[in-house]
Structure 1
Amino acid sequence: MSKTLQRIDKQSEIIKDKAKEIIKEIENETEDLKIVAFMEHTTPPPQVSPKVIKFNKILELLRLLAIDNPIEKGVAKVMLYSPSTGRSRGLTPTMMPGFQYLSPNAKTKPHSHNMASIYLVVKGKGYSVVGGKKLDWEEGDVFVVPANMVHYHVNVSETEEAILFDVTDSGLLENLGILEFKEEEEE
């Protein structure tokens, strides 16, 4: 779902004939350029509603998705967003949370993105390799993946699942039109 801000153009109140001519000359001299001589008024975005996400239902979904994941065996990821955020697709206009599930002995593929992530280990024990540095974690720990660092996560248990909860600034980057995600080579 994408939406466009409703803009109220007030330029016509200040731009008169001579100014219009100069603006047209400047715009015609440079490819892909438009001039705004007055910041438009915009309507505020819809209010994001408070909410509770029930972990038991998320866990049921994660387990189901991990069973037949052809992209990453034994791994599942769900992200949460509010339709009221429109283009940002975040739970708030600047942040997107998500849950990541790792079956016993599972690991994610190495990847990088220009969003920063803060993780809380909800369940399990394992490690993440972030920018070549191994970070051991267990239930209750918090760790950070800075933007643009290649990383992956590993569940070290042969019998127990691992569940990570993360919050990223992807909503902010999406709104700026600069969000990037890259899969990296296997290590």
Structure 2
Amino acid sequence: MVKIEELDFGEGLKKIEFLVTLKEEACCIGIMDIMEASIFLNEDAKYVQASYRKEYIKSYTEAFIKRLKTLKDDEDTYDGHIDCKELQEAVELLSEQEAQINEGVGFDPKFFKIYKLMSLYTTFILEEAVHPPGTPFPGGFKVKYENGKYLCPVKESQKNNPGAVCGFCIAEQDESV
């Protein structure tokens, strides 16, 4: 099994080849990992404004935890290649985040495994925003999908945040925010 960090980013990487790598790593995530990730998500949500806490938990559960099954079961054949430079930058960012987690900062390690795979899967295979349409953000704003584009209310303010995946997410800043 080739791990994501071991991929040759200098060569042209087919989407289907990257999907195989993602699926292999996803298969290493078991039910106990999923349970621990869910517990983390619910615990973390206690810091979210009460007015949209339930919606936040539902959205993040669907975007990351439930979608893991979609990745594991994905049998589509994807044409085309991945921009290896963009993928390498994304993997480097996620590796930096993982190093912080290993030092006790940030996400729970079990949740991060899922978060990492889903962020890469949605961006580089599905070509969708990491946070799906409807994902709530403070102020009552949500990710939208309009005219073939994903619009995010926090893209500009978070794209250089080393703890976020906004830097490689395909969503664009929602200019109405």
TM-score, normalization: structure 1? 0.25
Larger radius of gyration: 1
Bigger strand share: 1
TM-score of the pair, normalised by structure 2? 0.26
More helix by share: 2
For CA contacts below 8 A with separation 6 or more, give which structure has more relative contact order: 2
